[in-house]
């Protein structure tokens, strides 16, 4: 800790960096254990990060397994997670909750993720958007529109990469507001 102070790193910054590193390593282990058919309960591991406890995450996807995995990940990161099963539900939840970040599937019933992203990005409440897709041609889908997402998740995905992307987007949003 003394060396960190001499380098100009505050204890809160050090704790946040450590929490992020530890969280990433735990998610890595969880994926490996599940990949080998094991079962690992991350509920017993509580990381205390006051800053991320207030982050509201909106997930809109019509696949239950995707929603459940992302919800579990968001909760492990300390986020308040809100889940919608289609684009219309996603828009309603967005207007009700005013999330700090939204993760949207591109192909959903009732309203696709691109239209939902457009509505979110043009609303008064500014919110970073990450799109989920199982198709590699996602860039062609958004090329014509001037409104761009803040990130992409390509299925199948790794929880570690999503965790890093979510934390990076939240950090960038906080930096922009400061």
Tens digit of pLDDT for each residue in 84-117?
999 999 999 999 999 999 999 998 999 999 899 9
**CA angle, residues 48, 18, 29, in degrees to nearest 5:** 85
- Across the chain, what does the average pLDDT equal? 76
Q: What is the pLDDT of residues 41-60, one digit of tens each?
A: 555 444 444 443 479 999 99
What pLDDT score does 30 carry?
58
Give, in order, the Cα–Cα distances in Å from 134 to each of 45, 124, 157: 31, 30, 9
In the chain, % of residues over pLDDT 70: 61
Is pTM, for the whole model, over 0.75?
no
Beta strands in the chain (DSSP E): 56-60, 80-84, 101-105, 129-133, 151-154
Least-confidence region, from 16-20, 28-32, 65-69, 96-100:
16-20
CATH architecture observed for domain 52-177: 3-Layer(aba) Sandwich (3.40)
């Amino acid at each position: 800790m003394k060396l960190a102070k001499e380098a100009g790193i505050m204890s809160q910054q050090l704790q946040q960096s450590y929490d992020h590193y530890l969280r990433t390593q735990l998610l890595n282990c969880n994926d490996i254990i599940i990949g080998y058919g094991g079962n690992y309960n991350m509920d017993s591991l509580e990381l205390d990060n006051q800053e991320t406890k207030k982050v509201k995450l909106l997930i809109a996807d019509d696949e239950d397994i995707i929603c459940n995995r992302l919800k579990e990940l968001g909760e492990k990161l300390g986020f308040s997670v809100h889940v919608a099963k289609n684009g219309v539900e996603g828009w309603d939840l967005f207007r009700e909750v005013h999330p700090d970040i939204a993760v949207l599937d591109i192909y959903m019933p009732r309203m696709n993720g691109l239209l939902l992203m457009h509505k979110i990005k043009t609303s008064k409440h500014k919110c970073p958007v990450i799109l989920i897709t199982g198709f590699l041609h996602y860039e062609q889908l958004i090329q014509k529109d001037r409104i761009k997402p803040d990130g992409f998740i390509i299925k199948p995905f790794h929880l570690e990469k999503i965790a890093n992307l979510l934390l990076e987007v939240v950090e960038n949003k906080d930096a922009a507001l400061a």
